[in-house]
Structure 1
Amino acid sequence: MSVLHRTRTAPADPAVPASRAPDGPTATPAASGSARTRLGPTWLRVCAVGVTSVVLLVFMLQNTRDVEVTFLWMHGTLPLVLALLIAGVGMAVLAMVVGAVRLTRRDRRQH
């Protein structure tokens, strides 16, 4: 039997504290009567990604006006949402590079 599908039962006598219960787990089964799995947290993450995607889509649709952008010697106009997306992706890449450098240095010090 898989560890994920093992059903846990409570002691037969509810008056007996858990510390005096017979050997074995003392947790009660899930309210539906089935064992808990890892599917619940996965659905929670899927729902969170869905809500975040909808919020991001609404943000993008509301920020389509053109803005003037100047970076070093480059000048131009582009939609506000695209400028913000480029800035966000650039910062994410920069954060990953800095993190990779720090991890590489830490690993070299440990060896």
Structure 2
Amino acid sequence: MKRSRIGELWVVAVVFAIVLLLLMIFVLQNGQRAEVTFLGAHAALPVGVALLLAAIIGVLLVALPGTARIVQLRMRQRRRATAVPGSPAPGPTGSPTTGAVHREG
């Protein structure tokens, strides 16, 4: 049976709700205070909140270079799409292709 987009969205929403529930339980069970220092700022946070914030900051630190790379690749693709018609398209290394067939997958 083929799934619809609404059905897939429902599954994603349920999984997301379960993950949020597990995170909430984690934060509530780890309520002991911990001193946290970051870039000169000092705070006393519950351990669960501190770990959750550390995970979020880690995800953002990974996402920033990934986003920059995606933007870079899109700009390169736009430049290739606006290249002079009839000229050989640059290959993966930036040089014109040699006629070799590249297969993906």
TM-score by length of 1: 0.55
Go from structure 1 to structure 2 and tell me whether the alpha carbon gap of 1:37 and 1:104 turns closer, same or farther (over 3 Å shift). Answer: closer
Q: Percent identity?
A: 33
Indicate whether 1:46 and 2:13 are aligned: yes
Q: Report the residue type matching 2:24 in the other structure.
A: L
State the number of aligned residues. 78
Residue 75 of structure 1 deviates from its aligned partner by: 3.5
Cα distance in 1 for partners of 2:51, 2:22 equals 15
Go from structure 1 to structure 2 and tell me whether the alpha carbon gap of 1:106 and 1:63 turns closer, same or farther (over 3 Å shift). Answer: same
Residues 74-106 of structure 1 show CA distances to partners (whole Å, capped at 9, x for unaligned) of: 333211122122212222222222112111222
Go from structure 1 to structure 2 and tell me whether the alpha carbon gap of 1:107 and 1:71 turns closer, same or farther (over 3 Å shift). Answer: same
5+ residue gaps in structure 1?
1-29
Indicate whether 1:75 and 2:42 are aligned: yes
- Residue of structure 2 equivalent to 1:104: 71
Q: Report the residue type matching 2:48 in the other structure.
A: V
Q: Report the residue type matching 1:71 in the other structure.
A: F
- Residue of structure 2 equivalent to 1:61: 28
Go from structure 1 to structure 2 and tell me whether the alpha carbon gap of 1:104 and 1:41 turns closer, same or farther (over 3 Å shift). Answer: closer
* Aligned pairs (5 A) from 1:78-89: 78-89=45-56
Cα distance in 2 for partners of 1:72, 1:50 equals 33
5+ residue gaps in structure 2?
80-105
Residue 36 of structure 1 deviates from its aligned partner by: 5.9
TM-score by length of 2: 0.57
> Over the residues paired in the alignment, what is the CA RMSD in angstroms?
2.4
Cα distance in 2 for partners of 1:109, 1:36 equals 36
Residue 61 of structure 1 deviates from its aligned partner by: 0.8
Residues 20-68 of structure 1 show CA distances to partners (whole Å, capped at 9, x for unaligned) of: xxxxxxxxxx6xxxx8644432322222122112211111110111012
